[in-house]
Structure 1
Amino acid sequence: MALTTEESGRLADLLGEHDERIAQRWTDIVAASLRGRLSHAELRLQVQELHRSMIAAGRAGLTDIQTESAGELRAVLAELSRGRVRQGFSATETAVSIYALKDVLVELAESGEVELSLRDVIAFNSLVDQMGLYTFETYVQARESLIADQAEQLLELSTPVVKIWDGVVAVPLVGTLDSARAQVVMERLLQTLVDTGSPYAIIDITGVPAVDTQVAQHILKTVVAARLMGADCIISGIRPQIAQTIVALGIEFGDIATKASLADALRHVLRLTGVETARRHPRREA
């Protein structure tokens, strides 16, 4: 239900005439619902900003939350939602910050200080409902964006590419290797090969719990992509159980070098680069 310009003006007058009482009571109700998770001073600032934007929109002829006159109000509601997402509040807790205004208006009407017609009450409630729904929708969008950003960050953190020697980089894989993660691995490995000019890369799958056909295909594609960049790949971490699975599945790694451990792969690469390695023996006591 949209407000008429007359109803919008009466709402602005009501909010402006009792501004201090409304802001204080609105803050108290929201503070009680959040159980001290935000300071009273911070809540008061948020409520006052909402209060002022509602008065400004009402005096500009607010009839619907989506109208041009409600632009500033929508911006305040959106910022409130995004802030609550960052602070870890739920969608319900965020919406309560808006719907609490209904309780304030009811208390004012019951006190006898304000005369509100039934039509005014319905119109004002309708506007608060629109504000709550807009807040909820903005909250959901901000939450989804935050989750997507966090997922991308975790994906990058779970696929590090490290330089372990001059001309040698390594990709220690941990966990399941799916298509999305395999793409990130390939992109990060190729970029690191370009940045470092390394001719050798070690793909360590010690932390991969199981290797099936799909995982093997992802690894092979990464090796082929690295070869196109002029780098040779060595796969390490081939445990007995994984070796048996690979044989049972009939997966062929062709001429790709495979090693049982990362240390073996590193020694292999160092031999290819002409670096001599020697095992250190325990010092004998005299």
Structure 2
Amino acid sequence: MADVATAAPETLAQTLAAHAERVRGVWLDAAARELHGRTSRGELDREQAEILDALLDGLRSGGIALADPAFDQLRGILADVSATRARLGFTPRETAIGIFALKEGLYPLASAGVDITPLLRLVDQLGLLTFETFAAAREAIIAEQAEQLLELSTPVVKLWEGIVAVPLVGTLDSARAQVVMEKLLNTLVDTGSEHAIIDITGVPAVDTQVAQHLLKTVVAARLMGAECTISGIRPQIAQTIVALGIEFGDIRTRATLADALVDALRATRAARQVGLPA
């Protein structure tokens, strides 16, 4: 059994290649059974053929561990498959089982007189890599979706010629405050507006951190030549601001968005009457 225990990668490749059709058949049946129609049998067969070919190429090149350079192509294929599964909404188990099911096709090879333990270990490594790549892809997708939601939750609306508004709803944290500032400044440039209204009617609470974010946004808008008004100062928020000792300085504040819009319209009309920029 000494030669069996020390089977070289080339020997493993020869054994696997000699029984490739049977291995693929058993592997395909096992994976399809576990996936319950989540992907077509033809698509699954194509992926498995590509993986098996890359596995054989790696073994023929002397690879025995997945980290070996001989398996570079195989790692790339698995990464692509995992990322695709993540985008299609597969579960981690469904993704990994497509690889681990390969063991079902490898077990019968033990009767060929070759120790397949290295192959089984390699499949374990393939499954773990698939799981890790899938998890990373899902995290990237979730982060991208969160960023898209953040963009959607901070619209900048043109209310009137030269007047834009940012209606805020929900908690204003650092990440969202940065998005608000960027979108507001870009809109000011695109529309040439001279007045911006930041409405916090939908912000549940204002603390020191939220106030700092608002102040920074106002200062940034002023640097772009626009005057800002903060609206939506409800009685509870006003009491909180006073209790915290927050100073808005010369920043205009109004109780409602309507009041802020009226002020902005008056300022615009007055500026035009004297022939000055609004």
Q: TM-score, normalized by length of structure 2?
A: 0.88
Structure 1 gap segments, 5+ residues each: 276-286
Whole-angstrom distance in 2 between the partners of 1:157 and 1:169: 16
Counterpart residue type for residue 255 of structure 2: A
Matches within 5 A, 1:274-285: 274=269
Give the counterpart letter for 1:181 in structure 2: R
* C-alpha displacement of 1:197: 1.6
What CA distance in whole angstroms lies between the structure 1 residues aligned with 2:20 and 2:174? 56
Task: Find the counterpart in structure 2 of residue 83 from structure 1.
Answer: 84
* AA matched with 2:113: L
**Residue 95 of structure 1 aligns with which residue?**
96
Give, as a single letter, the amino acid of the residue that structure 1 aligns with 2:189: V
The structural deviation recorded for 1:6 is 5.2
Q: What is the aligned partner in structure 2 of residue 135 from structure 1?
A: 130
2:70 is the alignment partner of 1:69:
yes
Q: What is the root-mean-square deviation of aligned Cα atoms in Å?
A: 2.0
1:237 correspondence with 2:237: no
How far did residue 5 of structure 1 move?
9.8
Give the Cα–Cα distance (whole angstroms) in 1 for the partners of residues 42 and 234 of structure 2. Answer: 59
Q: Distance in 1 between matches of 2:197 and 2:154?
A: 13
Matched residues in 2 for 1:5 and 1:169: separation? 74
Equivalent of residue 224 in structure 1, options 204, 214, 219:
219
The residue aligned with 2:44 is 43
C-alpha deviation, 1:164, in angstroms:
2.2
Partner residue, 1:171: 166
> How far apart are residue 108 of structure 1 and its match?
4.7
Return closer, same or farther for 1:54/1:145 CA change in 2, 3 Å cut-off. Answer: same
Instruction: After TM superposition, give the deviation of residue 170 of structure 1 in Å.
Output: 1.1
- Give the aligned length: 266
Task: Confirm whether residue 52 of structure 1 aligns to residue 49 of structure 2.
Answer: no
Write the letter of the residue equivalent to 2:81.
L
Alpha carbons of 1:50 and 1:20: their partners in 2 closer, same or farther (altered >3 Å)?
same
For the Cα contact (< 8 Å) 2:51–2:77, is it kept in 1?
Answer: yes
Q: In the alignment, which residue of structure 2 is the partner of 1:283?
A: none
CA contact (8 A) 2:62 2:70 kept: yes
Work out whether 1:269 is the aligned partner of 2:264: yes
Which residue is equivalent to 2:120? 125
Corresponding residue SS for 2:253: strand
Do residues 260 (structure 1) and 234 (structure 2) align?
Answer: no
The letter of the residue matching 1:265 is: A
CA distance in 2, matches of 1:143, 1:194: 36
Between 6-15 and 94-103, the greater mean CA deviation after superposition? 6-15
SS in 2 for 1:61: coil
Question: Cα distance, 1:91 vs. partner?
Answer: 2.3
Query: For residue 34 of structure 1, what is the aligned residue in structure 2?
Result: 35
Which residue of structure 1 aligns with residue 113 of structure 2? 116
Letter of the 1:91 partner, please give it: P
Q: 1:70 to 1:267 in 2, by over 3 A?
A: same
* Structure 1 match to 2:201: 206
Alpha-carbon shift at residue 226 of structure 1 (Å): 0.9
Contact 2:156 2:167 in 1 (8 A): yes
One-letter code aligned to 1:24: G
1:284 equivalent in structure 2: none
Q: State the distance in 1 between where 2:113 and 2:164 align.
A: 73
TM-score for both structures, normalised by structure 1: 0.86
Q: Distance in 2 between matches of 1:237 and 1:34?
A: 52
1:279 maps to what in 2? none
Paired with 1:270 and 1:27, the residues of 2 have a C-alpha distance of: 70
Residue in 1 aligned with 2:210? Answer: 215
Within-5 A mapping of 1:12-27:
12-27=13-28
Q: 3-state DSSP class of the match of 1:274?
A: helix
Q: Which residues of structure 2 form unaligned runs of 5+?
A: 271-278
Instruction: Report the residue type matching 1:31 in the other structure.
Output: A
Q: Is the 8 A contact 2:157 2:164 kept in 1?
A: yes
CA deviation map 1:14-62 (0-9, x unaligned): 3322333222221221122222222222212211111121122222222
Of 10-19 and 144-153, more deviation after overlay is shown by 10-19
Q: CA deviation at 1:219?
A: 0.6
Q: Distance in 2 between matches of 1:205 and 1:5?
A: 71
The alignment-based identity, stated in percent, is 61
Alignment partner for residue 158 of structure 1, among 148, 153, 171?
153
